[in-house]
Amino acid sequence: MPVSDRYAVIGNPIAHSKSPDIHAQFARQTRQDITYQRLLAPLDGFEAVVKQFIAEGGKGMNVTVPFKLDAFAMATALTPRARAAGAVNTLKFENGEILGDNTDGKGLMMDIIRNAGYAVAGARVLLLGAGGAARGVILPLLEERPARLVIANRSLDKARELADFFSTAGRISVSAFSELDEAFDIVINATSAGLSDDMPPIPARVFKKGGLALDMVYGNELTPFLRFAAEQGANVRDGFGMLVEQAAESFYVWRGVQPDTRPVFSVLRPPSS
């Protein structure tokens, strides 16, 4: 009997991950014969778990917190977008090679432009945070040619490093949270503050009525950042759409088939929820 191709999401913790549900939906919809499981790796045991999965015939993995840098280091080949992101969220195992890719930036762009209906081209964009998630979305943002891109971060040095690193791709300004003194069409929170029910100390003036505020963190409740943005009249969106869209891009990398994400939204997050 033919055996289904195996995929997994690896992280620590991992029990909360919605990726298996998303990929199961994609597989049903596109009639791809795959299985997709959660894999918990010990904090010092990422590589061993990946090797074991490959030895068992695994075809690919999504990689989440805290292993995106380990995956980058373990890859034997990298896509240009993974190299730019400095992190890997998608691994593909083929012909003895470990291909590292990064679909987070594409996922965010699809969610902002197609799902939320906001143009990044010509927009004034504020990116909060300078960690791995922020770095991963800078190149895709610049490729859309925004009118302005500002990065603000608690540790200003890290924001400056990112602006320098991407300086050949486009102009990036850097600011401390408290010194932000203009309004933006799109404000993206790529800090992890929402995970601890906190938010970066940004002034209300960064938001525009009818502008977009997107928090990469997702959950059942609005994060403090999104609550604050809504109070200023911005349209708010959490990171669930980005998660679904990065998953769709990973699915495409593995299977060569583009799933339709819309039915996944209506099943996993019905409009009333």
Residues that bind ligand NDP (CB under 6 A): 65, 104, 129-134, 153-155, 158, 190-193, 195, 198, 200, 216-218, 239, 242-243, 246
Nearer to ligand NDP, 54 or 83 (CB): 83
Single-letter code of the amino acid located at 81:
R
Look up residue 155 and give its amino acid. S
Catalytic residue among 18, 51, 59, 68: 68
* Pairwise CA distance, residues 133 & 158, whole Å: 13
The single-letter DSSP state of residue 152 is E
Closest distance between ligand NDP and the C-beta of residue 154, in Å? Answer: 3
| Alpha carbon distance 135, 129 (integer Å) | 9
Q: Least distance from C-beta 131 to ligand NDP, angstroms?
A: 2
Q: Residue 200: what residue type?
A: P
- The amino acid that residue 100 corresponds to is G
Concatenated DSSP letters of 60-86: EEEE-TT-HHHHHHH-SEE-HHHHHHT
- Closer CB to ligand NDP, residue 12 or residue 54? 12
- Closest contact distance (angstroms) between CB of 219 and ligand NDP is 10
Nearer to ligand NDP, 60 or 129 (CB): 129
Using Cβ positions, the residue closest to ligand NDP within the complex turns out to be 131
Rounded distance between C-alpha atoms, residue 32 and residue 52, angstroms: 24
Q: What whole-number distance in Å separates Cα of residue 245 and Cα of residue 261? A: 7
Smallest gap from residue 252 Cβ to ligand NDP (A)? 16
The CB-of-207 to ligand NDP minimum distance in angstroms stands at 17
For 196, the 3-state DSSP assignment is helix
Q: Distance between CA atoms of 42 and 39, rounded to whole angstroms?
A: 10
Instruction: Choose between 90 and 153: whose C-beta lies nearer to ligand NDP.
Output: 153
Between CA 233 and CA 192 the distance in angstroms is 23
Contacts of residue 11, defined as CB under 8 A and 6 or more positions apart, other chains included, come to: 17, 38, 39, 40, 41, 63, 64, 65, 66, 67
Q: Is residue 51 annotated as a catalytic residue, yes or no?
A: no
Identify which of residues 185 and 215 has a Cβ nearer to ligand NDP in the complex: 215
User: Distance of CA 253 to CAs 27, 101, 164, 179, Å?
Assistant: 14, 9, 30, 41
Q: Least CB distance from residue 158 to ligand NDP, whole Å?
A: 5
> Which of 58/105 has CB closer to ligand NDP?
105
Q: Annotated active-site positions, please?
A: 68
